[in-house]
């Protein structure tokens, strides 16, 4: 039996506490309530309650790591003047629509499906999107469902598959593995996705631009109606700053960006002016306050 030194056990314990706090965004389990605040005492109690220090470490608990920003951020939208210079970027929205739906591809039974994500307009509910030619399915993630504990997908009757995340303690952001396995009795093969590859696939699907040296991603999503569990007529502009455990996302309702009326939004500490044209082209500028 391999012996583990007290120092190594301590490092593993601290890593477990840290990952319990910092990994929800990677696992798709972050709180979507941007106004929610977690006091430090509650933070520690919630994450340590299920963990027991290895023998010989005593009862002293590690200090919580520095705050890791919320995954989804509240967005401020305010009037703006169009900057006189050329735009930072411009994109035809129709070409960006719903690229979030097919980031991954896996065989779930006899059929290959594209796998993606979707949200309701308030970003309070999350969904897996399974699509193949002529068919799109939504599978809501229920409260308490976590990738680390396993999530079941059944795109067709009898084709039950399990998704779960194997978290790497050394490289949690890009070195963890998402597994897709058929359940016992279901014909099919297993699929493995390295989380680093998932991030790169999302990056490739996004519209990317740079503001003051910072790379930002933009997705254009169709919202899900939480009452019908079907896609709605409303859409959202989702800005993303990928920064490992400190990644953040800013959803901007399309309705907040009227055609022909410049508005500004604050994203990652900088203000951007958005101009949506009647031709369906979105222009992005560094913001200039309205006079």
Same domain (yes/no): 142, 266:
no
Q: Which of 173, 199, 225 is the last residue of a domain?
A: 199
Total domain count, the chain? 2
Q: Are residues 115 and 187 in the same domain?
A: yes
Of 41-45, 59-63, 144-148, 262-266, the range with the highest mean pLDDT is 262-266
Q: What is the pLDDT of residues 13-35, one digit of tens each?
A: 444 433 333 333 334 444 333 33
pLDDT more than 70, % of the chain: 72
Domain ends where: 138, 170, 199?
199
pLDDT higher than 70, residue 263: yes
Is residue 1 in some structural domain? no
d(CA 156, CA 4): 46
Closest CA to 258 of 284, 277, 283, 232: 277
Answer whether residue 240 is part of any domain.
yes
- Residue 37 confidence (pLDDT): 32
Shared-domain flag, residues 193 and 129: yes
In terms of domains, do 85 and 209 share one?
Answer: yes
One domain for residues 257 and 283: yes
Residue 117 in domain: yes
Q: For residue 57, is it within any domain? A: no
Q: What is the mean pLDDT of residues 256-270?
A: 92
- Please state, in angstroms and rounded to a whole number, the distance separating the CA atoms of residues 277 and 261: 9
Question: How confident is the model over 139-194, as pLDDT tens digits?
Answer: 999 887 888 889 999 999 999 999 999 999 889 889 999 999 999 999 889 999 99
Cα 19 from Cα 21, distance rounded (Å)? 5
Distance (Å) of CA 210 to CA 33, 90, 172, 241, 250: 28, 12, 26, 11, 16
Q: Are residues 219 and 281 in the same domain?
A: yes
- pLDDT tens sequence across 91-114: 999 999 999 998 999 999 888 999
The phi, psi pair for 171, rounded to 5°, reads -135, 70
Same domain, 157 and 194: yes
Do 194 and 104 belong to one domain?
Answer: yes
8 Å CB contact between 203 and 49: no
- Euclidean distance between CA atoms 158 and 187, whole angstroms: 10
Mean pLDDT of the chain: 79
What's this model's pTM, rounded to 2 decimal places? 0.75
- Tell me: do 115 and 247 sit in the same domain: no
Domain hosting residue 104, numbered range: 99-199
In a domain, 128, yes or no: yes
Q: Are residues 162 and 243 in the same domain?
A: no
| pLDDT at residue 60 tops 90 | no
Q: Which residue has the higher pLDDT, 211 or 24?
A: 211
| Number of other CB atoms surrounding residue 4 within 10 Å | 14
Domain end call among 164, 199, 234: 199
């Amino acid at each position: 039996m391999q012996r583990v030194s007290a120092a190594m056990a301590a490092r593993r314990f601290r890593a477990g506490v840290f990952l319990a706090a910092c990994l929800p965004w990677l696992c798709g389990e972050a709180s979507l309530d941007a106004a929610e605040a977690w006091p430090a005492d509650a933070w520690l109690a919630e994450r340590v309650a299920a963990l027991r220090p290895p023998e010989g470490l005593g009862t002293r608990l590690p200090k919580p790591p520095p705050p890791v920003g919320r995954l989804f951020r509240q967005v401020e939208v305010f009037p703006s003047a169009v900057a006189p210079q050329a735009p930072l970027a411009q994109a035809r929205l129709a070409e960006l629509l719903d690229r979030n739906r097919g980031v991954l591809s896996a065989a779930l039974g006899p059929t290959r499906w594209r796998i993606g994500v979707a949200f309701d307009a308030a970003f309070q509910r999350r969904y897996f999107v399974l699509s193949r030619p002529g068919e799109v399915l939504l599978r809501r993630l229920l409260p308490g469902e976590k990738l680390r504990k396993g999530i079941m997908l059944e795109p067709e009757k009898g084709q039950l598959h399990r998704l779960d995340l194997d978290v790497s303690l050394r490289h949690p952001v890009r070195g963890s593995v998402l597994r897709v396995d058929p359940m016992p009795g279901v014909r099919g093969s297993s699929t493995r996705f390295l989380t680093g590859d998932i991030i790169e696939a999302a990056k490739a699907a996004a519209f990317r631009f740079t503001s003051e040296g910072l790379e930002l991603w933009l997705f254009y999503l169709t919202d899900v109606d939480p009452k019908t569990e079907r896609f709605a007529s409303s859409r959202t502009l989702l800005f993303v700053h990928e920064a490992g455990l400190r990644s953040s996302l800013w959803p901007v309702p399309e309705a907040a960006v009227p055609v022909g009326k410049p508005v500004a939004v604050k994203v990652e500490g900088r203000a951007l002016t958005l101009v949506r044209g009647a031709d369906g082209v979105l222009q992005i500028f560094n913001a200039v306050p309205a006079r």
